Amino acid sequence: MTRDLHFEAVYPHPIDKVWRAITDPDAIGQWLMKNDFQPRVGHRFQFRAPPGKGWDGIVNCEVLTVEPPSRLEYTWKGGPLDTRVSITLEAVAAGTRLSLDHTGFRGPKALLVSLIMGRGWRGIVATGIRGVLDRFESGQAPATGAVHARGAER
């Protein structure tokens, strides 16, 4: 049994700003977790958060696809998960449509984690990324540090 998560939002910002929000390590740290991300295929990086029950707080990732300014994909491995995150951007009349897919939740533990992560991803797509974009729009750079997102479902 597998489960995949899918989320969409339209931001009233140009695609290049949204691309920056999903590929700048400091910006990612604001809407997701501290990281050492680089938008380069083959780059191995980690997301880091405070450890929790049954999780060491580390997500090991590898960049699989970088197609500026429209597509980013990386693996997501931590705890019971061996999954993939894909983010697609599309310029639309109202700004930029972001589609985020987190796929490959297999097995009972991973399915349970997907329920928690679904809630977190929903908040990230709805408000977390938007907050970073609004700071860009006002001329503020993303602050360093991290907001650890908790979970999200479809």
146 lies in some domain:
no
DSSP letters along the chain, please? Answer: -EEEEEEEEEESS-HHHHHHHHH-HHHHHHHS-EE---SSTT-EEEEE---BTTB-SEEEEEEEEEETTTEEEEEEEETTEEEEEEEEEEEETTEEEEEEEEEEEESHHHHHHHHHHHHHHHHIIIIIHHHHHHHHHTTPPPPSS------B--
42 lies in some domain:
yes
Number of domains in the chain: 1
pLDDT at 144: 52
pLDDT confidence bin for 40, thresholds 50/70/90: very high
Structural domain of 90: 2-137
148 lies in some domain:
no
45 lies in some domain:
yes
154 lies in some domain:
no
77 lies in some domain:
yes
145 lies in some domain:
no
pLDDT tens track for 106-124: 999 999 999 999 999 999 9
User: 139: burial class by Cβ within 10 Å (0-12, 13-18, 19+)?
Assistant: exposed
18 lies in some domain:
yes
CATH number of the domain to which 98 belongs: 3.30.530.20
pLDDT tens track for 58-108: 999 999 999 999 999 999 999 889 999 999 999 999 999 999 999 999 999
